Amino acid sequence: MDEDEAQKQRLKAAVHYTVGRLCQDIAADCEKQITKQTIAAIAETAFRQCDIFAKDLEAFARHAKRHTVTVDDVKLTARRTTALYNYIQQKSEELALNNQELKEKRKKNAAKRKSKDMEAEEENELED
C-alpha cells in the first residue's frame, strides 16, 4: 500500500506543477497575481475531480459491458454544461480526423513499400 501512496504523491506533484504553469499563464494574461495557496487549492481540486471522472468513466464502460474506456464514455462524463459537451465533441472529431489521416498515410507507405518490394523482386528476377 505504501507504493500506492508514493505513486499518488508523485502524481499529485506532477498535477501541481502543470496546474501551476497553467494558472501563471492565465494570471499573467489577466495581469493579476496568484498566491501559491490558491494554486495548491486548484491542483488539489483538479486531482479530486480527476478521481470522480475516472470513477464515472469506469462505471460507464462497465455499463456498456466493455473493458476499455472509449471516447464516448468521456463525452458522457462532460455532459453537464452544454458548452463543455460541445467543446469535447469538437476535440473528439479532430482526433478522429487525425487518426484517419494517419491510417491513410500508413496505407500509402505500405503501398509504396509493396511496390518497391515488387520492383526489387522484378529486378532480381531479371538479373537471374
Binders of other proteins among residues 55 to 84 (CB under 8 A) are: 55, 57-58, 61-62, 66-71, 73-75, 77-78, 80-81, 84
Nearest residue to 18 via CA among 35, 37, 43: 43
**What amino acid occupies position 77?**
T
Task: Choose which of 2, 30, 125, 127 interacts with other proteins (CB under 8 A).
Answer: 30
Give Cα 56 to chain centroid, integer Å: 17
Cβ atoms of 60 and 76 closer than 8 Å: yes
Return all residues near 64 (Cβ < 8 A) that are at least 6 apart.
73
Q: How far apart are CA 80 and CA 58, in angstroms?
A: 18
CB of 124 to other proteins, least distance (A): 40
Name the site residues for other proteins (rule: CB under 8 A): 7-8, 11, 14-15, 17-19, 22-23, 26-27, 30, 32-35, 37-38, 41-42, 45-46, 49-51, 53-55, 57-58, 61-62, 66-71, 73-75, 77-78, 80-81, 84, 87-88, 91-92, 95-96, 99
